[in-house]
Structure 1
Amino acid sequence: MGLNETSATEPSSAPRDVVRRQYLASAAGDLDALRATLAPDVEWTEMAGFPLAGTYRTPEGVTSNVMERLGADWADWTAHDDTYVVDGENVVVLARYTATHRDTGKELNARVAHHFVVRGGLIVRFEQFVDTALVRDASR
């Protein structure tokens, strides 16, 4: 194998690839696969003003307090990743959230930026940037 290749059974630990696996797992609703991308001591921060604002730790804490709650409140919640900017262990992703709020029936379509830090093939830190007013308005 070449320097940047991995075996078919071993996923790439390159920061961009780890983050991409996280988005794919999230879109598929595969919380086990999503947790597998997160470090045991991960710090996952949802932006102030976002309905789930705060910092969550541990893979289980992230999926139960963020992904499962989003799934309960929103139909078809998806983060569509489209542009990656990678600088060493830092990965910034420009994306779009789409969903329909289960109580109001209002649709959400908001641009977002996510900052990930990946070390040793795992996400150790995440920070979300989003227009929280768009999310609030869709939930009211």
Structure 2
Amino acid sequence: MGLNEHTVSDAPRDVVRRQYLASAAGDLDALRATLAPDVEWTEMAGFPLAGTYRTPEGVTSNVMERLGQEWEGWTAHDDTYVVDGENVVVLARYTATHCTTGKPLAVRVAHHFVVRGGLIVRFEQFTDTALVRDAAE
């Protein structure tokens, strides 16, 4: 039996997990399907893509597509989930190799998601931006 709207969980942890799986697979349509129309997605100050992006298309075009252009094999490895109601904090790792410098990246990261009605409405990233910058320079 295939997945349909009756078998897909809207639980905050499951929604966030689908986002990571879609990202790892490069499936931007599936990733956009996890995001609310008015999503606010914030990449940390100091990160190469720093800023707040809105709309599912705005997030994927300004974050995921650019990461894919600038980094080989960019992956967010979702290691640990901490869930409190609509808040989901994921302790994770980024791994990649910068396309221009050839330098590898392996850095810890924390992501804070807010999930309402089965969709991600807010995201905030926390990471050591200096390590990311060093790999890109």
Q: TM-score range by the shorter chain?
A: over 0.9
Give the number of aligned pairs.
Answer: 134
The answer to whether structure 1 residue 102 and structure 2 residue 99 are counterparts is yes
How is 1:25-64 mapped onto 2 (pairs within 5 angstroms)? Answer: 25-64=22-61
**1:72-111 C-alpha deviation (Å, 9 max, x unpaired):** 0000000000100000000000000000000000000000
- Supply the AA of the counterpart residue of 1:86: V
Residues 35-63 of structure 1 show CA distances to partners (whole Å, capped at 9, x for unaligned) of 00000000000000000000000000000
The gaps in structure 2 that reach 5 residues or longer are none
**What amino acid maps onto 2:93 in structure 1?**
R
Structure 2 length as normaliser, TM-score? 0.96
Q: Which residue in 1 is equivalent to 2:136?
A: 139
Report 1:7-18 matches (<5 A).
8-10=3-5, 11-18=8-15
- SS of structure 2 residue aligned to 1:48: coil
Normalised TM-score (structure 1): 0.94
Query: What is the deviation of 1:9?
Result: 1.4
Q: Which residue, out of 86, 90, 106, partners 1:89?
A: 86
SS in 1 for 2:63: helix
Supply the RMSD in Å over aligned alpha carbons.
0.9
4+ runs deviating over 6 angstroms: none
Q: Percent identity?
A: 87
Structure 2 match to 1:120: 117
SS of residue in 1 equivalent to 2:48: coil
